[in-house]
Amino acid sequence: MIVEYMTMGEFEEGLKHCRTVFIPFGSVEEHGYHLPLSTDTIQAYEVGKGAAERIPLFVAPPVHYGCCRSTSCHPGTISITTATLKGLMKDIINSFHSHGLKNFIVVTGHAGGSHRMALQDAGEELLALLPDIRLAVVTEYALAKKEGRGIIETENDAHAGEIETSRIMHSHPHLLKGRGEEEYPNFPLDILVRNKRSYWHGGVWGNPTKATAEKGKRLNDLIIEKIVSLVTEIENFKECL
């Protein structure tokens, strides 16, 4: 059940047999010269839609903006503050909850540290405010990296590398602009810097030249399976109090 395509009546009908919603968070962020700025959003939204083909599941429209610090100096990265991100998540979940949704799976395609912690903090605050909800906060890229063992060849692949390039090659090949080049950032240890691009010019962390559409399909299928399992788990979850 893709919420942005549903009518009011279809949403109302869906509530009769489903109280779980998948909420994808992404970013508008550089992903090298070869991947679209919406890469994180695409990946999170695609696995939600894939899961909804297998089980009853509301899939919310994606939140396209995130908190991006290490890429903030790269052209095309449009970042929001952690306070704004937390507010968005809390408002969206509160509104879904007002319509009767009880189970919330927040999946972020963007894996920035401050971004992930903001979503986690918002989740903890919501648990305290809404005693009848169940909530999971999942970093979609972490799932891809874990499930991709044995598929991905690049050690320490992270951003716009083999994993993400493979997945866009599979799901949105028309958005690919070339293949990219292997690169890794060289930020100084423990020192904060202003001009972040000078330590990471091309915006790639990994080796996109090893990417294939077949790897992307295998990764997406594995992640969808994990989301389906998580939906079942959260719907049956009984917290120890």
Across 217-228, average pLDDT: 95
> Tokens at residue 55, please?
């089980």
- pLDDT, position 147: 81
Interatomic CA distance for residues 129 and 94, integer angstroms: 10
- pLDDT, position 216: 96
96 belongs to a structural domain? yes
- pLDDT, position 235: 87
Query: The domain spanning residue 226 has which CATH number?
Result: 3.40.50.10310
Under DSSP, is residue 112 helix (H, G, I), strand (E, B) or coil?
Answer: coil
Across 110-120, average pLDDT: 95
34 belongs to a structural domain? yes
Interatomic CA distance for residues 179 and 32, integer angstroms: 10
84 touches 133 (CB < 8 A): no
- Using 50, 70 and 90 to split pLDDT, how confident is the model at 238? confident
Across 157-162, average pLDDT: 94
- pLDDT, position 230: 94
- The β-bridge relationship of strands 134-139 and 103-108 is parallel
Q: Would you say residue 240 has pLDDT above 80?
A: no
Interatomic CA distance for residues 38 and 30, integer angstroms: 8
- Using 50, 70 and 90 to split pLDDT, how confident is the model at 162? very high
Instruction: Report the interhelical angle of 140-147 vs 39-52 (nearest 10°).
Output: 80
Q: How many CB atoms lie within 10 A of CB 226?
A: 17
Average of per-residue pLDDT values in the chain: 94
200 belongs to a structural domain? yes
3 belongs to a structural domain? no
23 touches 92 (CB < 8 A): yes
| 42-90 pLDDT per residue, tens | 999 999 999 999 999 999 999 999 999 999 999 999 999 999 999 999 9
| 14-39 pLDDT per residue, tens | 999 999 999 999 999 999 999 999 99
Indicate the number of domains in the chain.
Answer: 1
Look up the domain containing 185 and give its range: 19-231
> Tokens at residue 93, please?
């979940």
81 belongs to a structural domain? yes
134 belongs to a structural domain? yes
- pLDDT, position 150: 87
- pLDDT, position 241: 64
Q: Which residues contact 202 (CB under 8 A, 6 or more apart)?
A: 32, 33, 180, 181, 183
Interatomic CA distance for residues 191 and 70, integer angstroms: 13
| 175-222 pLDDT per residue, tens | 999 989 999 999 988 888 899 898 899 999 999 999 999 999 999 999
- pLDDT, position 239: 76
Distances (CA, A) of 66 to 86, 115, 139, 154, 157: 10, 6, 13, 26, 21
For the chain, how big is the Rg over CA atoms in Å?
18
